[in-house]
Amino acid sequence: MQLEFTPEQEELRDGVCAMLARECPMSLVREVVEKGSRPDDLWAHMVALGWPALTIPEDAGGLGLGMIELAVVLEELGRSNAPGPFVPTVTQFVPVVRELGSPEQRARFLAPVANGDLTGTLALAEAAGSYDPDLVEVTATGSGDGYIVTGTKDSVVEAANVDEVAVVARTPDGIGVFVVPASELAIEPIAALDASRPLARVTLDGVGVTADRALGAPGHDTAATVRRVVEEASAALALELVGTCQTIFDVTLEYAKQREQFDVPIGSFQAIKHKFADMLVALERARATAYFAALTIAEDDERRAVAVSTAKAAAGECARLLAKEGIQIHGGIGYTWEHDMHLYVRRARSSALLFGTAADHRARIATLIGL
Mean pLDDT of 206-219: 94
- Percent of the chain with pLDDT strictly greater than 90: 92
Residue 348 main-chain phi, psi, to 5 deg: -65, -45
Q: Is the pLDDT of residue 315 over 70?
A: yes
Largest Cα span, the chain: 78
Residue ranges per domain, the chain? 7-118, 121-217, 222-368
Alpha-carbon separation of residue 253 from 217, 248, 276 (angstroms) = 52, 8, 8
Distance CA(355)–CA(312), nearest Å, equals 9
What distance lies between CA 39 and its chain's CA centroid?
Answer: 17
Distance CA(259)–CA(269), nearest Å, equals 12
Question: Which pLDDT belongs to residue 326?
Answer: 95
* Other Cβ atoms within 10 Å of 76 Cβ, number: 25
Q: Is the pLDDT of residue 260 over 80?
A: no
Mean pLDDT of 185-199: 94
Compare 168 and 145 and report the one with higher pLDDT. Answer: 168
Confidence band (pLDDT; 50, 70, 90) for 168?
A: very high
Q: Is the pLDDT of residue 152 over 70?
A: yes
User: Per-residue pLDDT tens for 71-112?
Assistant: 999 999 999 999 999 999 999 999 999 999 999 999 999 999
Q: Which helix (H) or strand (E) holds 360?
A: helix 358-368
Confidence band (pLDDT; 50, 70, 90) for 266?
A: confident
Distance CA(336)–CA(258), nearest Å, equals 18
CB 9 within 8 A of CB 72: yes
Question: Which pLDDT belongs to residue 267?
Answer: 87
Instruction: Name the amino acid, one letter, at 342.
Output: H
What is the three-class DSSP state of 101? coil
Mean of pLDDT over the chain = 95
Confidence band (pLDDT; 50, 70, 90) for 200?
A: very high
**Alpha carbons within 13 A on the beta-carbon side of 173:** 11
What distance lies between CA 160 and its chain's CA centroid?
Answer: 16
Q: Torsion angle, CA of 287/291/297/301, rounded to 10 degrees?
A: -110
Q: Is the pLDDT of residue 306 over 80?
A: yes
Q: Is the pLDDT of residue 263 over 90?
A: no
Confidence band (pLDDT; 50, 70, 90) for 259?
A: confident
Confidence band (pLDDT; 50, 70, 90) for 1?
A: low
Question: Which pLDDT belongs to residue 2?
Answer: 61
CATH number of 121-217, picked from 3.50.50.60, 2.60.120.560, 2.40.110.10, 3.20.20.140: 2.40.110.10
Distance CA(168)–CA(151), nearest Å, equals 11
Cross-strand bridge partners of residue 210: 146
- Percent of the chain with pLDDT strictly greater than 70: 99
Q: Is the pLDDT of residue 335 over 90?
A: no
Mean pLDDT of 165-191: 96
User: Per-residue pLDDT tens for 4-52?
Assistant: 899 999 999 999 999 999 999 999 999 999 999 999 999 999 999 999 9
What is the three-class DSSP state of 81? coil
Alpha-carbon separation of residue 64 from 53, 94, 99 (angstroms) = 8, 12, 14
Confidence band (pLDDT; 50, 70, 90) for 157?
A: very high
Mean pLDDT of 263-272: 90
The fold of 7-118 is: Butyryl-Coa Dehydrogenase, subunit A; domain 1 (1.10.540)
pTM of the model: 0.95
The fold of 222-368 is: Butyryl-CoA Dehydrogenase, subunit A; domain 3 (1.20.140)
